[in-house]
């Protein structure tokens, strides 16, 4: 069983689809939380929306730091001037992520890696959790028709929960996390 959050959720969904074709470790049930099903529109949303842009800038700085830490190894693989010139996550994904993983560029990477392109092929019971008030990923960006057409997928959209939080009450030092309870219940049912 597996749980994936945000980009990790997208990676998990891709793995679930690919595990059939490969002799991969089989996952019997999964939960994907706050997934950017379309990486291109997710990157755009991070750059457009007020306070979320602060997170996008923080994430970009963090990714650049990772490249800087491996600069000697990456100098022969990446155009480091293009990496350092990155102003947005899309720029960074074009200059670094796509190149490191064998894609032709950012659009090729986003298209081939976005789970909305293959979610209909997943054959593992999977809970998809999303919140209407997720500031990073608007609920309108979910691939509703593909999800509804796949009997292996169960979509839960909460009214609140933000981005991967899903706090439901309790004292601040010991909050109740609805996402944890729903995930545990789903996985236990499929165990």
Same domain for 168 and 84 = no
For tokens 């789903």, name the residue. 186
Same domain for 118 and 106 = no
Q: Distances from the Cα of 156 to the Cαs of 44, 127, 159, 172, in angstroms?
A: 24, 7, 10, 25
Please, which pLDDT band fits residue 185 given cuts at 50, 70 and 90? confident
* Cα(47)–Cα(19) distance, integer angstroms: 33
In this predicted structure, what is the pLDDT of residue 98?
97
The string of DSSP codes covering 85-106 is T--SHHHHIIIIIHHHTT-SSH
Same domain for 125 and 31 = yes
Same domain for 153 and 61 = no
Question: Over 60: is that where the pLDDT of 176 sits?
Answer: no
Last residue in a domain, options 96, 112, 128:
112
Domain that holds residue 129: 2-38+114-189
Same domain for 68 and 30 = no
Last residue in a domain, options 59, 78, 112:
112
Same domain for 125 and 34 = yes
Stated pTM of the model: 0.83
């Amino acid at each position: 069983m597996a749980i994936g959050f945000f980009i990790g959720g997208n990676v998990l969904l891709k793995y679930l689809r690919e595990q059939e074709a490969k002799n991969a470790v089989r996952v019997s049930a999964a939960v994907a939380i706050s997934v950017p099903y379309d990486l291109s529109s997710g990157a755009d949303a991070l750059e457009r929306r007020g306070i979320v842009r602060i997170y996008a800038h923080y994430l970009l700085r963090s990714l650049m730091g990772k490249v800087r830490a491996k600069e000697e190894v990456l100098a022969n693989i990446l155009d480091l001037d293009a990496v350092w010139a990155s102003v947005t996550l899309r720029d960074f994904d074009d200059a670094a992520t796509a190149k490191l993983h064998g894609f032709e560029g950012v659009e090729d990477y986003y298209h081939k890696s976005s789970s909305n392109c293959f979610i209909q092929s997943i054959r593992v019971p999977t809970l998809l959790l999303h919140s209407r008030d997720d500031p990073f990923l608007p609920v309108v960006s979910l691939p509703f028709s593909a999800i509804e057409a796949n009997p292996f997928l169960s979509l839960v959209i909460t009214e609140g929960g933000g981005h991967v939080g899903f706090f439901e009450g309790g004292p601040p030092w010991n909050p109740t996390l609805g996402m944890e309870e729903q995930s545990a219940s789903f996985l236990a049912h499929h165990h």
